[in-house]
């Protein structure tokens, strides 16, 4: 009986082991091949015309009144949106 008490005491000294369940990480939304192509094109155009990280990030992620949307979202939505964003980037580059 004293052995049972010592075994119980030894078992309670160690914390209970817990296993982790691993899950695959999945992003909220996957882009289609066309969206990836347009994303690449708009990023290259932004870098070519704005040349620095801060202006590129600010331009792509800030609502633009002349476009009526965020340039990155507009460019991802359609080829027409991409063309509108690239045209605006060209105009910005000419003004600079």
Q: From CA 59, how far away is CA 5, in angstroms rounded?
A: 70
- Residue 22 within any structural domain of the chain: no
* pLDDT band at 78; cut points 50, 70, 90: very high
Q: Report how many domains make up the chain.
A: 1
Q: Do residues 44 and 75 touch, judged by C-beta distance below 8 A?
A: no
- Residue 19 within any structural domain of the chain: no
- Residue 77 within any structural domain of the chain: yes
Report the C-alpha dihedral over residues 80, 85, 89, 90, rounded to 10 degrees: 10
* pLDDT band at 18; cut points 50, 70, 90: low
- Residue 20 within any structural domain of the chain: no
- Residue 28 within any structural domain of the chain: no
On average, the pLDDT of the chain sits at 85
Per-residue pLDDT tens over the stretch 24-37? 666 678 899 999 99
* pLDDT band at 4; cut points 50, 70, 90: low
- Residue 47 within any structural domain of the chain: no
Q: Do residues 39 and 76 touch, judged by C-beta distance below 8 A?
A: yes
For the record, the structure tokens of 74 come out as 């507009």
For the record, the structure tokens of 42 come out as 């708009």
Task: Identify the pLDDT of residue 48.
Answer: 95
Per-residue pLDDT tens over the stretch 48-66? 999 899 999 999 999 999 9
| Residue 66: domain span | 52-96
pTM over 0.85: no
């Amino acid at each position: 009986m004293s052995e049972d008490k010592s075994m119980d005491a030894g078992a309670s000294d160690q914390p209970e082991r817990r296993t982790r369940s691993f899950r695959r990480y999945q992003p909220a939304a996957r882009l289609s091949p066309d969206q990836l192509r347009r994303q690449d094109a708009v990023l290259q155009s932004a870098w070519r015309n704005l040349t620095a990280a801060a202006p590129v990030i600010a331009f792509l992620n800030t609502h633009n009144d002349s476009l009526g949307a965020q340039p990155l979202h507009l460019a991802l939505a359609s080829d027409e949106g991409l063309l509108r964003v690239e045209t605006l980037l060209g105009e910005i580059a000419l003004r600079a």
